[in-house]
Chains A and B, each alone.
Chain A
C-alpha cells in the first residue's frame, strides 16, 4: 500500500494546486535558462548562419557587433586577390526604430552584398529572398511584418518579400535584410534641409582657408553632391566577410590579411567569442545568477510546502509510529510526495512553457541538456526539501496520539 499516493488522492485538490504553483515557479526557472540560451543564440545566430570564415573590420576594433567598425567598401576588392580567398562581401549592420501601424518597430538592418549575396542562406519560411538591387527586404517574422507589407525607411518604401525565423540580433531585435546600398542609404539618410545646410557649411569652410580664396570656382563643387567630391572617397561599410577556399588554412589567410595596417581580422569563432564575452556577457551572467537564485527560492518554497504538508499529517505520523511503523514507512510517505511534487511541477513547467514561451518578447531556447540538468536539480531539491519535513516527522512523539 502506497501511503503517499493514497494521501495525494485524498487531498487531490490541494496537491494539484501546490503542484501547479511549483510548476509555475519551475517554469520561470526553465524560462530564465531558455532566455539565457536564447541570448547566446541571438548573439551568434547571424555569425553562425552567414557562413563567413573571416570578418575583416576596422583596425583595432571589435566590430561590427561589439563596437562600431568603418572600413571603405573597396576593401572587398583588396581582399579578393589574397591567396585562398574564395569570396569577399561587404557587410553593413545597424539598428533602426520606426513606428509601423501605430506601434514601435525595431529592426537590425543587415546589408547584403548584392548581387553576390542574395540572402540564399537565410532560413526563409515565407516568400522569397532578395531578387532586385533596391527596395526589397526580408524580415524576421518576430517583427510581425508580413510578406507584401510596405515599410518606409529613409526616403524609400521597402516591400517585405520574405520572412525568416529565428533571426534576431543580440539585443533581441528582429533582423531585416536588404542590399548593402539600400542599407547604407537608410543608415546615412539625411533630410533635404540637412543636406543643404551641410553643403552651405562646406562652401563656408572652403572660403575660410586659402584654397577657397585662390580658387573660388571650387565653391560650386563643394556646394554640390558628395559624389562630385573625390576627397570624400567611397562610402564606408561595417565589415568585409571572407570565405576561404577549401584546402586553405583559415588561420593563415587571416594572418595574411591582418598584416595590413588598416584592418583587424577575426575568424568565425573569434567573432562569436567577441560577442559572448563582450556584449552579452553581463546579461548572460545576470541571467545565470537569477537562475541560481530562483532555484534556491524554489528549493526553499518546496521545503516550506513539504514541511507544512508534514505538519498537517503529524498526528497521522505519530499514529503510525505508535502502531509500530518503521521510519522507512514515514520517510517514504514524505519523500515520495516530495519527488512526485517535483516531477509533476517539472512536467507542468515544461508543457506550460512550450505553450507560453513563444509569446515571450525575447527568444526562449530550451536545450535538451539544460532540461536534463534542471530535472536532476529538481529531483535533488525535492529530496533536500523533504528533509525538513522528515526531520519534523522523526521528532513526532507517538505519545501525542494519547494526549
Chain B
C-alpha cells in the first residue's frame, strides 16, 4: 500500500508506546509523528528517559507501537500493534542499525561482520565478500578487514558497524548514541560519516544523540521530552 510521497523513507504517525499496566503503566512514547526524507540526516535529542531509545525501537520495527502507524518507503509496516509485513525481513532489507556499543559479533572479523548482514539475506558469498570490501574501503577501514573486533579501536569498530548497517543498501539508518564511547574528535568524524552516508547513499538517517557539539552536520533536529516530540529545528 503506497501512502506517501516518493522522497519519504519513513513516516510514522500518532505513535504511542506504553509499558506495564495499571499503576505500573508508563507511557514511554506519546502520540509521536515523524517523517524522514531520503538523504536527510536527523538528530533526535532529549534528556535521559525522554523516550528516544523507545522511539527508535518503534521506528526500527523492533517493537510494535500500541497505537499509530509506521510506513517505510511507502509500505505500511505497523498499523497500531499489528504487523502488516514480515517485520524481520523488512528490518533485514530496509533498515540499518548502529549503536553506542558497536555490537559487532566478536567471533567474526570486520569483513565477516559486514558480510553477515548480507548473507542472512541469502546473498551469495562471492557478492557479499566484494561488497563488504567496498564498504570497508569507503569507510576507510579496509586494512582492518581481517581483524576481529577486539583488535580494532573504538572508532574503527564504529566504522565497521556503519559498514554493516549499509550492507543491504537500507533506506533508513537508525543510530543510537553512536558517538557515546568516542572522544570529541572521533565522535565528530562519525557524525560526519553519517551525513556523508545519508547524502551519498540516498538513505534517511536518524541519530539519537546527547552530543550537541556536532549538531551542525544534521539537516534537522528533533527534541523529545516526556515521550513527546517538543521541538523541531531545521
Contacts and interface: CB of A to CB of B under 8 A. Distances in A.
Interface string B100-119: 00010111100010011101
A167 to B, nearest CB: 54
A311 interface: no
Max chain B Cβ within 10 angstroms of own Cβ: one of A3, A320, A402: A402
Contacts of B116: 1, 3, 320, 323
Interface string B63-105: 1000000000000000000000000111111010101000101
A324 interface: yes
B120 A6 contact: no
A202 B60 CA distance: 107
A329 to B, nearest CB: 5
B78 to A, nearest CB: 15
Nearest to B129: A1
B87 to A, nearest CB: 9
Contacts of B121: 324
A402 B56 contact: yes
Contacts of A398: 62
Given A1-B112, A402-B56, A316 B62 contact: no
Contacts of A399: 57, 62-63
Interface stretch (A7-15, A26-34, A90-98): A7-15
Nearest to A315: B103
Contacts of A324: 88-93, 95, 120-121
B53 interface: yes
A319 B107 CA distance: 13
Contacts of A257: none
B107 A402 contact: no
Contacts of A9: 107
B148 interface: yes
Contact of A6 (B57, B99, B107): B107
A155 interface: no
A245 B226 CA distance: 103
Contact of A329 (B90, B91, B107, B120): B120
Interface residues of B, number: 31
Given A10-B106, A402-B99, A402-B176, A323 B62 contact: no
B103 A326 contact: no
Contact of A1 (B56, B95, B119, B164): B119
Interface in A384-403: 398-399, 401-402
Chain A at the B interface: SS class: helix
Interface residues of A, number: 22
Contacts of B119: 1
A7 B56 contact: no
Contacts of B91: 322-324
B140 interface: no
Nearest to B57: A399
Interface in B128-180: 148, 164, 176
B115 A11 contact: no
Contacts of A316: 105-106
Contacts of A315: 103
A325 interface: yes
Contacts of A402: 53, 56-57, 62, 99, 176
Contacts of B99: 401-402
Given A6-B108, A10-B107, A325 B63 contact: no
B126 to A, nearest CB: 12
Contacts of A326: 88, 120
Q: 9 smallest A-B Cβ distances: which pairs?
A: A324-B92, A10-B107, A324-B91, A325-B120, A7-B107, A319-B103, A399-B62, A324-B88, A6-B107
16 contacts: A1-B112, A1-B115, A1-B125, A6-B112, A10-B107, A11-B107, A320-B120, A323-B91, A323-B164, A324-B90, A324-B93, A399-B62, A399-B63, A402-B56, A402-B62, A402-B176
Given A1-B115, A10-B148, 13 more contacts: A3-B105, A6-B112, A10-B106, A315-B103, A319-B105, A320-B116, A323-B97, A325-B92, A326-B88, A399-B62, A399-B63, A402-B53, A402-B99
